[in-house]
Every structure is written in C-alpha cells, then in structure tokens.
Copies of this chain bind each other. A is one copy, B any other.
Amino acid sequence: MSAIAALKADLDGLKIEDNQQIVKQKSRDFFWYSPVLKKQLEDVTGDLIVTPKTEDEIIRVLKACFTADIPVTTRGAGTGNYGQAMPLSGGVVLNMAEMTAVKEVKTGSVVVEAGAIMSDIDKTAREQSGQELRMHPSTYRTATIGGFIAGGSGGVGSINWGGLRDLGNVIRLRVITMEADPQILEMTGDDLQKVMHAYGTNGIITEIEMPLTASYDWVDVLVGFDDFMDAVRFSDALANQDGLLTKNIAPVAAPVPHDYFLRHQKFIRKDQSVAVLMVAPFAMAAFEAFVARQPSGEVLYRSDKASDEDVRRLPPAYELSWNHTTLRGLRVDPEITYLQVLYPFPNQVELVGKMQELFGDEVPGHLEYVRFDGDITCFGLPIVRYTSEERLNEIIRLHEDNGCPIFNPHRYTLEEGGMKQTDAVQLAFKQEADPKGLLNPGKMIAWENPDYDYDSGQVFLFPGLQRG
C-alpha cells in the first residue's frame, strides 16, 4: 500500500477527495496571472484534498502526516497569485473551506475561523453591530480571512489603516504546529509576525481575531481625466484629505479603464484615465467640494446617483481595483501581466511620472493609495504588456534603478516575492513548529537552502518542482 493510500485509510471519517482532476484543480491558485509562474507551476498537484471541519480533525491530519512524512499545504480559496497555496511536493492539500464560523462579534473586533470568506464575515458583523473589517483584497467575495493573513499584505481600506503587517491590524491568531504532538498556540502582539505572510509554512492558522471598524454603504465613484498624471495628482490630493473618509483610491491609466472595465465601458472614453474611488456616503457633499477645488476631473459615475439597473449590473468599485484590475485585463487580453511597485513617500507622484514616461503604454499605470508608516503614498500594480521574461526582468530592473522597489509577483518563494532576505523570525518559528519541514515545502528559501545567495541573479528553483 502506498503512503498516500495508508494515509487515506488513517484518516477514515474525514472529508477526503482523491479524484486526480479535482485534486489538481484544488491544488491551484491564481498563479496564472504570471506567465513565469504559469510555466513553472503548471503541473503542480497534491495527492489528496482533506477538508477538516474542526481543529481536532486538523490535528488528526497533522499527526498522521508527521508520522508518514507527508507534506501538508494549507489552502483557503486559492485566490493568491504566487502559488502560495500550491503543493510543490504533492501530499495533502488542507482545504479550510468548511471552517467558516463567525464565532463572536465584539465592539472593535471579530473572532472567526480561518476559512471564513471575508464578505461573509462583514455581512455578519454588519448585521450584528454595524461594523466591518478594516481591509480586504479585491477578492473580497471569494477569499478566506486565513488566506489573506497567510499571504496578503493589504488592500481596500489600507488608505486608512496601512497594511496587515502593521501592529493592530491583526489582534490574535490561533495556530497549530506540525509535530508528533501538534501544539495549539495563541499569538498576539509581535508574535503574530512569526506566522503572518508565511504562506502556511510554519503552522496552521485556525482561528483569527481581527479589528473591526465602522461599516458604511460606500459610494463607488469613477472620476475621468484626459491625462493619467492629472488622475494621480487628484488621487494624491484626495488621499491627503484628513476629514474626507474614503476606503479606496486607485488611479488607472488609459486605455485600461475603457478596454478592461467592460461593464463600465459606457461611462468611459478610450483615452480617459480614471480614478476609481470608494467614498463614505455622508462625505459626498465634501467630496463634491473637493472635486470643485481640483484643476481637472469629471465625475463619470457615482453609485448613489446611478439607476437601479446600473447598480445591479455593475461590479463594485473594489472589483475594479487591486488585483482585479489585472484580472479584468487578463480576461480581455491573456497576454498581459503585471508588477507590484512601491513609490516611496514623499516622491510618489514624481516617480510615477518618471515610470510613465519611461514605459508609456507598455506598462500602463495603476496605483493604489495607502498609508505606509504614517505617510500617504501609493503602491503600483501596473499592467505589463508582456513580451518576454527578459524584458519583464528589464522592466523590473529599471524600476529598481529608479528608486521604485518591486515586490515581484512572478516568484513563488516568500523571499523572492518580498524582501529578498531571510526572515529570521519566520525561520526560527519554522524550526520549532515544523521540524520536519513538511508544511508547504519549497516556499521558504531560508529553510530549503540557508546559504542561498539572493544577489546571484538566479531564480530559486525548488527541487520538489523537478519531480514531474
């Protein structure tokens, strides 16, 4: 009997899927955003999908896999773009989709199971208390909170609250270790850094306490500009309005809004750049006064004045922003891809202008305004009209040479997509919590190859990927 067959017998009574087509489907995320990852990860698949309903069931899975040396890769909804949830060494995909309880809504926070969908959490929090999560990705209606914490960095709402990494944006995590006798740990404060944005490589997050903020019926607004840089300056000024409450501010360069926002197309000229906004309903009079003060900008659409049919028909503004901008582009033009750029404060507008001049329509601009260490600045998620991996790397290099750091979305490892150096805290915790290295193998270079040279100019290739 194979190890996997033995494991399956061992886990009798749990919800298990081993149909190879379904397993492969559930072993994938949105890695195909990247033509580079698409090539590397196309054949990745697990052996079994196990869908636990309780912590006890998770512990059963971990114990059995620890004994049998079988890898375990945890998965939320699979909406990440970096192969975060893809089992490079096969084994068990631990699917959190059925641990979705919203356990307690308090004033200022909510306690949930890791598999809860973010919009479902907000629905419950809103109904019970008029509150909502501080931030969410554009995949709000499909992504799990656990996946967001294990691999996300921020999103809609980060203009008010900064990123997930900032103290206070996650309150508590309950984490199970991968040992002969799995431990259940409760983490708060600085301990949270051990497992946040670690792709599930050093523990299974089962329960989460997140801060809540006041919930509003956000008004979706599109503002049109003849010139992208006017959209940027408008967005920058709006982001710096301390009293004018917004939830997202995303300027997008022409022709992306017209060409890719298909359901909004009737509002947008092909040569129009657009600022995609979410504004608090009670701030609309102030917003109108703000628009009147600006040198340019024409309100093309606002959901509070739209017809019932438009409101029903149109996707919400957050599904035009963050990674959904790219997703809409990919549906129209599968050849495109994107980058993730930081334009450091206080030179963000100037740097965006410089990149715009350098690349023109090869890299149409898409910015997301955020708070970052107390300052207002913007990330970029520009569309890239992809021609070759060489040119993509050259575009990355030109950004970095000009003082715009890239968080490379074309890499599946934590380090290469992030800080390009060992995260000593995460590594130390993996040594404790996953001594056999069975959790999501291949994603933490510091574990796989402690001597790896990040300046080699090479891409890390996990040996597990060579097994096919």
Binding site for B on A (CB under 8 A): 106-109, 129-131, 134, 161-163, 166-169, 171-172, 188-190, 211, 213-214, 216-217, 239-245, 280-283, 285-290, 292-293, 346, 371-376
Identify which of B129, B171, B242 contacts A285 (C-beta below 8 A). Answer: B171
Query: Given the interface contacts A189-B289, A211-B282, A292-B190, does A242 sit within 8 Å of B130 by beta carbon?
Result: no
Kindly list chain B residues whose C-beta atoms are within 8 Å of the C-beta of A108. 214, 216, 280-282
Identify which of B242, B287, B290 contacts A374 (C-beta below 8 A). Answer: B242
The answer on a CB contact under 8 Å between B168 and A211 is: no
Q: What's the minimum C-beta distance from A363 to chain B, rounded to whole angstroms? A: 27
Give the docked Cα–Cα distance between A131 and B107 (Å). Answer: 11
Kindly list chain B residues whose C-beta atoms are within 8 Å of the C-beta of A131. 214
Identify which of B107, B129, B245, B372 contacts A242 (C-beta below 8 A). Answer: B372
Q: Which of A167, A243, A244, A283 has the most CB of B within 10 A?
A: A243
Give the docked Cα–Cα distance between A282 and B188 (Å). Answer: 11
Q: What's the minimum C-beta distance from A223 to chain B, rounded to whole angstroms? A: 16
How many copies make up the complex?
Answer: 2
Q: A240-B375, A242-B372 are in contact. List 5 more A-B contacts (CB 8 A).
A: A106-B282, A107-B282, A163-B242, A241-B374, A375-B375
Q: What's the minimum C-beta distance from A74 to chain B, rounded to whole angstroms? A: 24
The answer on a CB contact under 8 Å between B375 and A285 is: no
The answer on a CB contact under 8 Å between B189 and A239 is: no
Query: Given the interface contacts A129-B130, A189-B289, A285-B188, does A168 sit within 8 Å of B241 by beta carbon?
Result: yes
Give the docked Cα–Cα distance between A292 and B190 (Å). Answer: 9
Q: What's the minimum C-beta distance from A287 to chain B, rounded to whole angstroms? A: 8
The answer on a CB contact under 8 Å between A286 and B168 is: yes
Kindly list chain B residues whose C-beta atoms are within 8 Å of the C-beta of A373. 240, 242
Give the docked Cα–Cα distance between A455 and B169 (Å). Answer: 50
The answer on a CB contact under 8 Å between A242 and B162 is: yes
The answer on a CB contact under 8 Å between B214 and A166 is: no
Give the docked Cα–Cα distance between A48 and B168 (Å). Answer: 54
Can you sample 5 A-B contacts with CB below 8 Å? A106-B282, A131-B214, A168-B243, A188-B289, A211-B283
The answer on a CB contact under 8 Å between A166 and B292 is: no
Q: Which of A169, A217, A283, A285 has the most CB of B within 10 A?
A: A285
Kindly list chain B residues whose C-beta atoms are within 8 Å of the C-beta of A189. 285-286, 288-289, 292
Query: Given the interface contacts A108-B281, A109-B282, A280-B108, does A166 sit within 8 Å of B242 by beta carbon?
Result: yes
Q: What's the minimum C-beta distance from A156 to chain B, rounded to whole angstroms? A: 15
Give the docked Cα–Cα distance between A283 and B245 (Å). Answer: 21
The answer on a CB contact under 8 Å between A245 and B190 is: no
Q: What's the minimum C-beta distance from A230 to chain B, rounded to whole angstroms? A: 19
Q: What's the minimum C-beta distance from A183 to chain B, rounded to whole angstroms? A: 20
The chain B residue with its CB closest to the CB of A213 is B214
The answer on a CB contact under 8 Å between A374 and B239 is: yes
Kindly list chain B residues whose C-beta atoms are within 8 Å of the C-beta of A134. 243
The answer on a CB contact under 8 Å between B375 and A166 is: no
Identify which of B107, B162, B286, B374 contacts A171 (C-beta below 8 A). Answer: B286
Give the docked Cα–Cα distance between A189 and B289 (Å). Answer: 5
Kindly list chain B residues whose C-beta atoms are within 8 Å of the C-beta of A168. 241, 243-245, 283, 286-287
The answer on a CB contact under 8 Å between B243 and A169 is: yes
Kindly list chain B residues whose C-beta atoms are within 8 Å of the C-beta of A290. 167
Q: What's the minimum C-beta distance from A372 to chain B, rounded to whole angstroms? A: 7
